[in-house]
Amino acid sequence: MELGLFRVVKKFTLVTNKVLSADSIIISMLQRLRGYATTTNILILVIVISFIIQILVEEYTDAFKFSIEYIIFEPYRFFTSGFLHGSILHLFLNMYALFIFGNLLEKEAGNKQMLVLFLLGSLAGTGGHILLGVLGVEPIKTLIGASDSISAIFGACVFLALYRNIEVFLIKMKVRTALILFLVYNLLGILSIFALQANVAYSTHISALIFGYLYARFFIKTSAQERSI
């Protein structure tokens, strides 16, 4: 009788250990998945979905792109244009940059600041483009793409993590090096010395970069320092 009871207890213990082991594996997997569910990565998913809608719905892009004639009566286009893209390559390059610098900014300042900068960066970049267009530096263009929002996030990273190591297309560099490449490309584009695409609004990138840097300088510095203590 005691031997039979011992066997039952032993089997029960073995089954319990297996269940607990399986639970620990599941919990570990969920924790890893949760690590990928950053605000930046969710935002990337939303933008990719928006691009799919662009392909499927013909009127979608025209309804949400930014153009100067909509500035008064449809100001929401300042923000919605950032969720539109002109091609798969355009989408890929922007989302790759957002993945790198958005997640970096989340680590430095938190997901709320990253999201705020994404939205305000679109406004700052478009506003700067209009201002420089009025001054005759660059023609005012119809705008789509998240590059101004990403430039603002990048600007904040420049202030908060200038010497942080990053990897861009398998090339390791510091944020400082990425800044130099960014400035050279965009300044030459504005001056029409070197422009891969005539329809790129280089001024939006520079304007948003400056905004992001200043935003981090005055609104994120203290919280970032507190996080590092």
Contact in structure between 142 and 199 (CB atoms under 8 Å): no
Instruction: Quote the pTM value.
Output: 0.82
Integer distance in angstroms from the first to the last C-alpha of the chain?
62
How far is the CA of 100 from the CAs of 55, 81, 153, 193, 226, in angstroms?
A: 26, 21, 10, 28, 23
* pLDDT single digits (tens) 7-24: 545 554 554 554 445 445
Enclosing H/E stretch for 172: strand 171-174
* pLDDT single digits (tens) 151-203: 999 999 999 999 999 999 999 999 999 999 999 998 888 777 555 556 788 88
